[in-house]
Amino acid sequence: MSFDVAAVRAQFPILNREVNGKPLVYLDNAATTQKPQCVIDALVDYYSTCNSNVHRGAHKLADEATRRYEGARDIVAGFINASAREEVIWTSGTTESINIITHGIAQQLKAGDEVVVTEMEHHANLVTWQQACKQAGAALKVIPISDLGELDLESYKAALNEKTRIVAFPHVSNALGTLNPIADLTRWAKDAGALVAIDGAQGIAHGAIDVQALGCDFYSFSAHKLFGPTGMGVLWGRKELLAEWPVWKTGGEMIATVTYQDATWNELPYRLEAGTPNIADAIAMGVAIEWFQSLDQDGLKQHEAKLLARATELAEDFEGLTIIGNAKDKVGVLSFVMDSGHPADIGFLLDKQGIAIRTGHHCAEPLMGRLNVPGTARASFSIYNTLDEVEQLFTALKKVRMMLE
């Protein structure tokens, strides 16, 4: 049975709207995905029926809210196959998750240590490590990529040694769509005795992962790129590490005991979750994951691959257009530049035709420098996009080319 894209689309109310008098063609999914009705309903239902603070309350609503909220943690733990639910730490998103990891590692970093990242990092997984290294006097090693946008695996292996404290890399590059061989990258780094932190912001929406099978130490992701709400995310980390982790925010919930002069810390996951949490969005994230898991996973992967293959074919035949990022393994991201105009103009003129893409440096400024482009135009596909929308993009791009020339 083929993947029923019409049935999936029907669950996303926003896809019915018009933009500039044209039906919306939403191709900015790497920035954020749209939300199915069940996720929207989960937010409304929580606030309409059981809004309350979690853990502390001595009443029915607090109990219900706590059960839903902690239930969502179980859903996440199952989705990524965490060995324990307390390894799932709620955060505001990938950026915050990576900052918590960096904060923990930064306290142990010293001059002479090395941290390894790649040329394809999003700023969230670069600036954090760069600043930690600067403060500690540690070296930041940046692994090169090829012109196709693939990581240079020989340089990666050569960079690992007994001084490597941690290796951080993206599961998928947001700017290029490159799908990295994360299992190999993890194994090589672990063999060298380094910790491994995977930026899963873009990888997570392309199928469930198994953190235990991968053998990494940390995996970070955001709900909003996985059909869930904004302002919500997860830091998954091995409990042996997180249990010893320096607390990074202090306040309510994260303490065990407090005197005027001192405090002791709560157990995982609460020791890393100070204050009233983002209850409604955690619950909605759980709903988004269950919804995503209910779909035919092979079917959706094949559907995405078809969208990318057709878009690539049309792009290769399009005069004056150059694809940026031609890795052999890619997800549904088509980054490109055109001879006729700047990416910002392309984005503006597509929007006039109802087509939403992203333009600019995609929070990967050094990568744009490496690839010698000021920025790119990026169309990114999700499971609700259709082959017809891919055709519409290129019909619209022909108009853009005419207008710019």
* Residues with catalytic roles: 363
Query: Beta-strand (E) ranges in 172-305?
Result: 195-199, 218-222, 233-237, 255-258, 263-265
Site membership for ligand PMP, residue 202 (CB under 6 A): yes
Alpha-carbon gap, residue 3 to 305, rounded angstroms: 12
Of these, 36, 149, 170, 286, which contacts ligand PMP (CB under 6 A)?
Answer: 170
In 3D, which of 47, 148, 90 has the Cα closest to residue 285? 90
Shortest reach from residue 285's CB to ligand PMP, in Å: 12
Site membership for ligand PMP, residue 130 (CB under 6 A): no
Site membership for ligand PMP, residue 201 (CB under 6 A): yes
Stretch that binds ligand PMP, among 59-67, 88-96, 158-166, 184-192 (CB under 6 A): 88-96
User: With b meaning 16 or more CB within 10 Å and e meaning fewer, what string describes 320-349?
Assistant: ebebbbbbeebbbbbbbbbebbebebbbeb
Of these, 93, 177, 341, 375, which contacts ligand PMP (CB under 6 A)?
Answer: 93
In this structure, are residues 104 and 246 in contact, taking their beta carbons and an 8 Å threshold? yes
Please give the size of the binding site for ligand PMP, defined by CB under 6 A: 13
Beta-bridge mates of residue 178? 330
Shortest reach from residue 143's CB to ligand PMP, in Å: 15
Stretch that binds ligand PMP, among 89-97, 281-289, 297-305, 381-389 (CB under 6 A): 89-97
Stretch that binds ligand PMP, among 182-190, 195-203, 289-297, 347-355 (CB under 6 A): 195-203
Site membership for ligand PMP, residue 122 (CB under 6 A): yes
Q: Please provide residue 220's backbone torsions phi and psi, each rounded to the nearest 5 degrees.
A: -115, 140
Q: What is the dihedral of CA 313, 314, 320, 323, to 10 degrees?
A: -50
Q: Which two tokens stand for residue 14?
A: 């926003």
Shortest reach from residue 95's CB to ligand PMP, in Å: 3
Site membership for ligand PMP, residue 222 (CB under 6 A): yes
Long-range contacts from 297-300, C-beta under 8 angstroms, 24+ separation? 297/207, 297/208, 299/1, 299/2, 299/3, 300/3, 300/383
Of these, 95, 178, 186, 353, which contacts ligand PMP (CB under 6 A)?
Answer: 95
The contact set with ligand PMP (CB under 6 A) reads 93-95, 122, 124-125, 170, 174, 199, 201-202, 222, 363
